[in-house]
Amino acid sequence: MIESLPPALILLAAALLIAPLRGHWRTAVILAAPLATLWAIWQVPDGVVATITFLDYQIEPLEGSPLRRLFATIFALMVFTGGLYAFRQARAVELAAAYAYAAGAIGVCFAGDLITMFLYWELMALFSTLVVWSGGTPAARAAGIRYAIMHLLGGVILKVGIEGVVVHTGSIDIQPMLATNFDTWMILTGILINAAAPPVSAWLADAYPEASPTGSVFLSAFTTKTAVLALILLFPGEPVLIWVGLFMVMYGIIYALLENDARRILAYSIVNQVGFMVCAVGIGTQLALNGAAAHAFAHIIYKALLFMSAGVVIYRTGKSKCTDLGGLFRTMPVTAACGIIGALAISGFPLTSGFTTKTMISQAAADESLMTVYLLLAAASAGVFLHAGIKFPWFVFFQKDSGLRPKDAPWNMAVAMGLFAALCILIGVFPEVFYRFLPYAVEYEPYKAGKVVFYLQLLLFSGLAFFLLLPLMRRTLTISLDSDWLWRVLLFRAAAGIQAGLSAAGAALQARRVAGFAALRSRAEYHFGSGPAAGKRMGVFSRTWSIGTTALWIAILLIAYVLVYVI
């Protein structure tokens, strides 16, 4: 009986309870619900577990597989650690929204049909918007509106694609497909919007940094990774994804290097890291898909760890710009140490989780003789070390002394960071234990001498380049223009110009109308003017005619009528 219970319902029930409960009862729900969800996840067997008939369609709200359980497991771990990190600082409405958001992500993991997937997909969009709004600032409210509009657009595009597939195939099953027609292209586009693929990736760097320090931790985990899961399930081996992924990788690196805001650096880094996963899905081999799933798992851990570290800094100092920070390691050693571990993991440093997962993707490219892809991914690893491995911890915790002496993380935040920092190291030191849970059998050995030396050389020379070019790396109080400039500025100005043009045209038409009525009135007064009583001359049709003149005109009109009638 328990295996037919959708694990997402446990988190939804917890979301409903968090707001009304108080004190230890709320804390108990916050910490126990994710653990109960994790237990329920591992009770779901492989295959379709539950079906519901709806409008002649077989809805499959619960389908298990190793891949689905892997993603659901890391989502549940993320909710537990995020709840531990946030329960003493976040507002109840934010935690409730975050838990419902996570429920949507876990629902997508086990969705066996496109309709169920779409419903949970939109549940994520709804409650993640509430998480952004929970930032509580005017900037957060504005960013939340833009975020909601973008995800509404993505949901509409995805819905159009699903409806097309249903109409043309009669099937709602989640199964591999290729982008060969309008329907599948719409589904792929809708998923890529959630994956933050450029040019529609600006919503991520726009919204995530405006959330609260605790809210951004939850936001970093679910939306983009459920998109990666959807790509693995629906578009494995789709060639276009290789180049989309590579573009995301380079795009994220460039913008992260340009950024001054600590959380915007990490937000652009999400685009970069998801690019590795999208590229792996495009390669489509078993090793590549294992790499995509494993890297998504590891990425959620180290990215959340980095956002936790940045969140503690913002919570303690109220500042997020690199130009305002520095020297914090003196009074925040735990936060700095955890941030450094996350930075090493995201850079793919040996003995961390990033090395054991990211190199799997590069090896998959090499095995398929995709040398251009392999070299670009290797170069991207150096770029990641520059912007996330060195730049983030250096400018936030070291560089100049900002004069700030904040306290270190509160105990619950420190424990949450310590848990994820330990996982980053454990997965890096004992990868074979982690590999057992991947969807396909693993015959990959990450710690070959040549590979370790190659990546150490790559990372160390990247570090040398960073410090040699440090004057160029120093940030200033500037902003980075992203693709959202096209609709936030250019489209706004175009709309304002069109409005001004229409207003000018309307004013001109109004002037012509007034002038026309004035001319018509003048002609009417000429013919029907009332004469001296009104101070004007008598109009033609207002004059008094003699009887003879009137009779003459009547005769002329009668003759004309007869002639017309006869002719």
pLDDT in tens, 321-343: 888 888 888 899 999 999 999 99
* Contact yes or no for 466/384 (Cβ under 8 A): no
Q: How does pLDDT run across 288-313, given as a tens digit for each residue?
A: 999 999 999 999 999 999 999 999 99
In this predicted model, what pLDDT tens digit does every residue of 8-43 receive, in sequence order?
A: 999 999 999 998 888 899 999 999 999 999 999 999
Structure tokens at 457: 């050389």
Residue 208 burial (CB count, 10 A) = 29
Confidence label for 476 from pLDDT (cuts 50, 70 and 90): low
Position 385 scores a pLDDT of 81
- Which residue carries 């170069």 as its tokens? 379
**What is the dihedral sign for C-alpha 433, 437, 438, 441?**
positive
pLDDT given for residue 562 in this prediction: 85
Average pLDDT over residues 392-397: 84
Is residue 246 within 8 Å of residue 327, measured between CB atoms?
Answer: no
Task: Determine the 3-state secondary structure of 113 from DSSP.
Answer: strand
* Encoded amino acid at 296, one letter: A
- The pTM score is 0.86
pLDDT band of residue 534 (cuts 50, 70, 90) is: very low
DSSP 409-472: --HHHHHHHHHHHHHHHHHHH-HHHHHTTSSS-----S--HHHHHHHHHHHHHHHHHHHHTHHH
Spatial neighbors of 314 by CB under 8 A, at least 6 apart, are 213, 262, 263, 320
For 221-242, the pLDDT digits (tens) are: 999 999 999 999 999 999 999 9
Burial tier of 449 (Cβ tally within 10 Å: 0-12, 13-18, 19+): exposed
Per-residue model confidence as pLDDT tens digits over 425-442: 999 999 999 999 999 998
CA angle, 523 as apex, 518 and 529 as ends, to 5°? Answer: 105
Q: What pLDDT is attached to residue 2?
A: 64
Phi, psi of 56 (to 5 degrees): 65, 10
How far is C-alpha 345 from the geometric centre of its chain's CA atoms? 22
Domain-wise residue ranges, the chain: 1-235, 239-477, 489-566
Q: What is the mean pLDDT of residues 54-80?
A: 91
Integer CA distances (angstroms), 416 to 85, 286, 304, 494, in order: 5, 33, 10, 47
End-to-end CA distance of the chain: 98
